[in-house]
Amino acid sequence: NAGVTQTPKFQVLKTGQSMTLLCAQDMNHEYMSWYRQDPGMGLRLIHYSVGAGITDQGEVPNGYNVSRSTTEDFPLRLLSAAPSQTSVYFCASSYVGPGELFFGEGSRLTVL
Amino acid sequence: KQEVTQIPAALSVPEGENLVLNCSFTDSAIYNLQWFRQDPGKGLTSLLLIQSSQREQTSGRLNASLDKSSGRSTLYIAASQPGDSATYLCAVRLHNNNDMRFGAGTRLTVKP
């Protein structure tokens, strides 16, 4: 019973490097989303998707790209990492509408 | 724009005390409201989900209420235990685009 799986759990990058955070869910959820969590800032929505081929921006989308080619996967791409992107990233999924939101364990990213 | 506020930001109580955590939101056009628990360095665990048509939900020592018209929810914890120490977050799912907006959380400490 995997639920929402995020990889990697930890990553250290240098400024300017690119990387992809992976998120997969096995619950056939239409809705998937990425949040970042920073001390004192709470959870902020980066991007979300309500189905394959459909993505939209959240509160803090700059510096991040997403795509949704399948129902199961929703990768988050950092094109050119900056120290301001040091954070803990959470992926979440649910059914659209009144669905319960389920979270992954998080990916801790440090940009030097 | 939907704003979610949680008061207090931190709370410390002796073991055995009953307590109430508060969550308020500015736009009543929501699908549902969800309460989560987060332990330090961990992901978010769903505690209770209240649909917009419901008034309350209960799970063990936890009871969550929802007053959509006034934009308020409360999480009641009965007979608190040291193991309840964690950060509690509320989130509302928006009716217009399905995304979730989070409060900053209440950090609860239950002292033995």
DSSP B2: -
The residue of chain A nearest to residue B105, with distances taken between CA atoms, is A42
Pick from A41, A29, A54, A15: nearest CA to A104: A29
Pick from A104, A100, A101, A78: nearest CA to A91: A104
The residue of chain B nearest to residue A59, with distances taken between CA atoms, is B101
Interchain contact A76–B (C-beta under 8 A):
no
Label the pairing between strands B86-94 and B106-111: antiparallel
Cβ(B5)–Cβ(B101) under 8 Å? no
**What tens digit of pLDDT does each residue of A20-79 get?**
999 999 999 999 999 999 987 789 999 999 999 999 999 899 999 999 999 999 999 999
Cβ distance A40 to B104 less than 8 Å, yes or no, reads yes
A86 to chain B, minimum CA–CA distance in Å?
15
Interchain contact A10–B (C-beta under 8 A):
no
Q: Is cis: bond before A8, omega within 30 of 0?
A: yes
**What tens digit of pLDDT does each residue of B16-55 get?**
999 999 999 999 889 899 999 999 888 999 999 999 999 9
